[in-house]
Amino acid sequence: MWSIQSISHTDPHSDFWIFKVHPIHFKCSRPQNQTAVMKKSFSSSSAEDDGASLWESASISASAPPDEYEHPYASMLCCHSVQDSLLSSNSSFTGYRGVLNWIIILLVLTHAHLFLENFIQHGFLIDGKKVLGHLIEDNCNWPSVNLILAANVFALTALYLEKSQEKGALSLSVGRGLHRINLGLVVLFPAAVIVHEPRISTGGAYFFLWFYAILGFKLYSYQETNRWYRLAHSEKDGCVAHEGHNEHLTLRDLYYFLLAPTLCYQRSFPRTPKVRINNLLHRLLEMVVVIQIMVGIVQQWIEPIFQRSENSFASMDVTSRVDHLVDLVAPAHFLWLLFSFLSHSFLNFCAELLCFGDRHFYGDWWNATTLRSFWNNWNIPLQKWSHRHVYKQLVAWNIPPSLAELAVFLMSAALCEFMIALPLRSCRLWILLMMLIGLLVEVFLGGYFQGNYGNGLVWLCLLLGPPLAVTTYFHDHYIRAMAKASPQTAEIPPPLR
C-alpha cells in the first residue's frame, strides 16, 4: 500500500508538482511461530524488488522513514501460512480418535447384521451341555485330572535332585543328566498318553498337554537357575556344596514358582503387600464373561460354517477352500483376540492371588510395526524364557545371534504345531507353514513397510496367519467327529443356507 507523504511546489511559475510517495507497512495478526517467517519473507521480497520498481526507488531516496501501524483488517488480509494437509505423510497430526470410533461403530454394526442374519437362519445354537460333553470323560472319571495330579512326581523329583546336588551327594554332571531324563519324561509322557488313551476327551487332552508343557518350561528353568547359583558359589567359595543356600530348596518355594505366572525361576520374586479382593473378583468376572462369549462365537458362528462343508480342508478343491477360509477369517480372529484377553485376565488373577509383583505379561503388540516386534511383545513370559535359556545359551556357544534368533523362532513354531495338532491327533503342519510364511514376509517385505504401513501388514498377517490355521485344524476334527457320530448324515449334511 502506498500513501502520498508530502506535496511540494518547486517553481511558483510552473504547474509541475512533485509528489513524495512512501510505502505504508502494516502488521498482520499471525501466530507467534509464523510472525518471524512472514517478516523475513516481506523484507527479502522488498530487497529483491528494489531495483525493479520506480516507486520503490523514489521511496528509498526519501529521507522520511516508512510508517508502521497495525492495520485494522490485518487478520482478514493475512489468512494463509505454510502447512501440510492433516492426512498427508509429512503431517505430524495424530488425533485419529474420531476415525477409530467410526471404525469401531462400523464394525459393530456390520457384525451385528451378521449375528442377526445368523440367528434368523439357524436359530439359537448356544448349548452349554455340548461344552461339558467335550470336557467330561468316561462318566465323570477324568483321566486328564489324574494325569495332572501325577505331575507332582516330576516336580518332587526335580526338588530331590537339587537338594542332592546342594548337599554334594550328586556331582553336577550326574545331577544334570538325571534332570534331563526327568524333563524328557515330562515331554514324552503326555504325548504317549494322548496318542494311546482314547478315553481322554479333546478338552481334557488340551488341558493336560498345556499343563505339562508349562511344567516342562518351569522345571528346566528351575534346574538351570539353581545350577547357575551353585556354579557362582562354587567359584566363590571353592566348593560345590554351600549350606546357606539349602533354605531356598523347599516345597513352599518350588510350588510357589510352579503356580506363579512366570516361566523363569529366581530365588526371590517381587511381591505385592496384599491381595486386593476387588481386583481379584474383577479378573474372575472377566474370565467368566470372556469364556461365555468365546463359547457363543464357536457354537453360533463357527459351527454352522463347519456344517456346510462335506470334506476336510485337505481334500477340498481350491475354490471351496478359499470360500471357507474367507468365512472363517472374522470369527477366528475374534476368538484369538478374546483368547489374548482371557490370558491377560487369568495371568493377572494368578498374580493377584499369589501377590506376584511382575505383571508385565505382554507389551503393546497392537502397535507393532514389524512381525519381529509383535513376536517379542505378544507373550512376554515365553519370550523371557526363550531369551534366557535358549538364545543366550546359543550365543554363549559361539553361534551367531541371527542363527540363534532363527532357532528360537523355529522352536516356537514347532511348539505351536505340537500343542495344537497333538490333542486333535492330526498333523498337517499348517501352523508351522503359516509361521514360516510370516518369517518370509518379515525378511523380504519388512523393509518396505514402515510406520503405519508396517502396522497394517502385521494386522494382515494376524488375520490370515496362525489363528486361521488353528481353525482349519478344528474344522477337520469336527468333520471327523461328525462322520463317526452319524456316517450317513456326515456325508451329505443338511443345507443351512
* 172-196 vs 401-424: helix crossing angle, rounded to 10: 40
Complete DSSP assignment for 186-226: HHHHHHHHHHH-TTS-HHHHHHHHHHHHHHHHHHHHHHHHH
- State the Cα–Cα distance between residues 310 and 298, nearest whole angstrom: 19
Q: Identify the domain boundary among 245, 269, 293.
A: 269
Q: Is the domain of 236 the same as that of 166?
A: yes
Domains contained in the chain, number: 2
Q: Is residue 401 part of a domain?
A: no
* Same-domain check for residues 182 and 55: no
* pLDDT, position 135: 60
Select from 53, 77, 101 the last residue of a domain.
77
**From CA 281, how far away is CA 285, in angstroms rounded?**
6
Query: How far apart (Å, rounded) are the C-alpha atoms in residues 410 and 159?
Result: 31
**Which amino acid, one-letter code, is at 335?**
L
Task: Report if residue 205 sits inside a domain.
Answer: yes
Q: Are residues 162 and 244 in the same domain?
A: yes
Residue 3, C-alpha cell as written in the block = 500513501
Task: Tell whether 67 and 166 lie within a shared domain.
Answer: no
User: How many other β-carbons are positioned within 10 Å of the β-carbon of residue 341?
Assistant: 15
Structural domain range at position 35: 2-77
**Cβ atoms within 10 Å of 42's Cβ, excluding its own:** 12
Residue 121 lies in a domain: no
Do 141 and 27 share a domain, yes or no?
A: no
Radius of gyration (Cα) for the chain, nearest Å? 36
CA pair distance 310, 315, nearest whole angstrom: 10
Asked if residues 90 and 84 have their Cβ atoms less than 8 Å apart, the reply is yes
State whether 39 and 132 are in the same domain: no
Residue 483: predicted pLDDT: 78
3-state helix, strand, coil in the chain (%, to 5): 70, 5, 25
Q: Is residue 409 situated within a structural domain?
A: no
Grid coordinates belonging to 100:
477409530
Overall residue count recorded for the chain in this entry: 497
Residue 61 is placed in which grid cell?
531516496
Mean pLDDT in runs of 10 for the chain (497 residues)? Answer: 47 47 48 44 42 41 52 74 81 80 83 76 69 59 79 94 89 90 93 85 86 95 92 63 65 95 93 93 94 89 84 82 88 92 95 94 93 93 95 94 94 93 88 93 88 90 90 88 64 40
The beta-strand segments (E) located in 33-99 are: 67-70
Q: Is 60 in the same domain as 194?
A: no
Handedness of CA 389, 393, 399, 402 (dihedral sign): positive
Whether residue 219 sits in one domain with residue 152: yes
Residue 416 lies in a domain: no
Q: The whole model's pTM is what?
A: 0.76
Q: Which of 17, 44, 77 is the last residue of a domain?
A: 77
pLDDT computed for residue 201 by the predictor:
80
Answer yes or no: do 203 and 131 share one domain: yes
Q: Within this chain, do residues 56 and 132 fall inside the same structural domain, yes or no?
A: no
Identify the H or E element spanning 8: strand 2-9
